Amino acid sequence: MSVYLDHNATTRVRPEAVAAVARALETVGNPSSVHAAGRAARAVMEQARSHVAALIAAPASTVIFTGGGTEANALAILSAVATGSRRLIVSAIEHDSVLESAKASDAAVEYLPVDANGVADLAWLRDRLAAWDAGDGRPFVALMLANNETGVVQPVAEAAELVRAANGWLHVDAIQAAGKIPVDSRAIGADTLAVSAHKIGGTQGVGALTFGPRATMVRVQHGGGQERGRRAGTENIPGISGFGAAAKAVSASPDTAGRDAAAARLKAAGAIVLGEREPRLPNTLCVATPGWDAERQVMALDLAGVMVSAGSACSSGKVKVSHVLIAMGHADLAASAIRVSGGWDTTEQDWSRFADAWLEAHARHAARRKEVA
């Protein structure tokens, strides 16, 4: 039986979400229609909105449904640029959906550095905001809540204090954090915050953005007046319904026992755990093995029936060197790092089977190197 440990890429759809999607597919009605079927569809959508809002402790009226987390991140960035931000600060470890959206905007882009553990350098941010040029418009800072590769949780609340003191806009990508650690969008000071359905047990192709009173949202996708005029296009009721069901089903954070036991076994064989000195998502393990490239590790594990990834899975199936580890100053490890991530249905046995398979593959790798030497 195979073991799936790539939940940070996408997780299994929860039974509650499957049931919700099926019910929605069996009904008819455009939520913008005023007749009975339309009102029924809207009721389904608004119930889901309330569940997603509760997951991130946000008012339901501030939740905008999007076509995914990437669109949610882009909507925040483009709204900030459209309302006057001419220079963006994004952390060097942001997901590509933030990095690429920032680079594609009309604004200049700067990168907030991180330390060797993958934590944002708030001293740098404080000094940069203190020297802000008024000609660059309102400061915009993007800092993810937890990194998708290392799992390291970022000091977002502390960053929010600095950004607010500079009258700036803080955008938080909470896509990996939601459902794994408590997320309170208002308590951490996020002006905008993005989440995604398929990271918590919903379906792919659905996301959401919540915005606070200090953020001015603009409509990027034009058409009708859906989502209170902020995101045109008929809403994906089945996907949204599943998103809401998954958000409602989220329970306590996963246990770390299986992950930590597996990490200890790999470390004993010479692997290096990235970010282990800092608070991390309980489901995420990023390990590097000098001299053993990530692609070969992923392939060896796949042949053993264990599925993991090398860094982010958003590069069209390509294995590429991790920009996150490079930003952390670990360029020497970037090509040999893999990401192992559990989900809502992962067991300690799954982690143990991963460690068994990795150790067996590592032993073969070490033997081959010895023969060559």
For residue 175, which of 95, 287, 100, 250 has the smallest C-alpha distance?
95
Q: How far, CA to CA in Å, does 205 sit from each of 9, 66, 171, 239, 326?
A: 13, 8, 21, 7, 30
CB atoms within 10 A of CB 304: 17
Query: What is the distance between the alpha carbons of residues 248 and 54, in angstroms, rounded to a whole number?
Result: 8
DSSP conformation class of 221: S
CA separation for the pair 111, 177 (Å, rounded): 21
Burial (CB < 10 A; 0-12, 13-18, 19+), residue 364, is exposed
306 by DSSP, 3-state: which?
Answer: strand
In the chain, the amino acid numbered 305 is: G
What is the distance between the alpha carbons of residues 171 and 166, in angstroms, rounded to a whole number? 14
Cα separation, 195 vs 206, in Å, equals: 9
Q: Report CA-CA distances (Å) from 305 to 21, 31, 345.
A: 30, 43, 17
| Of 336, 180, 347, 177, residue with least CA distance to 262 | 347
The answer to whether 98 and 236 have CB atoms below 8 angstroms apart is no
Strands (E) across 207-280 are located at: 207-211, 272-273
Half-sphere exposure (Cβ direction) of 247: Cα atoms closer than 13 Å = 27
The residue annotated as part of the active site, out of 314, 321, 326, 366, is 314
Q: Using CA atoms of 314, 69, 75, 154 in order, give the dihedral in degrees to the nearest 10.
A: -90
Residue 224 CA to its chain's centroid (Å) = 29
Q: Is 286 a catalytic residue?
A: no
Active site residues: 314
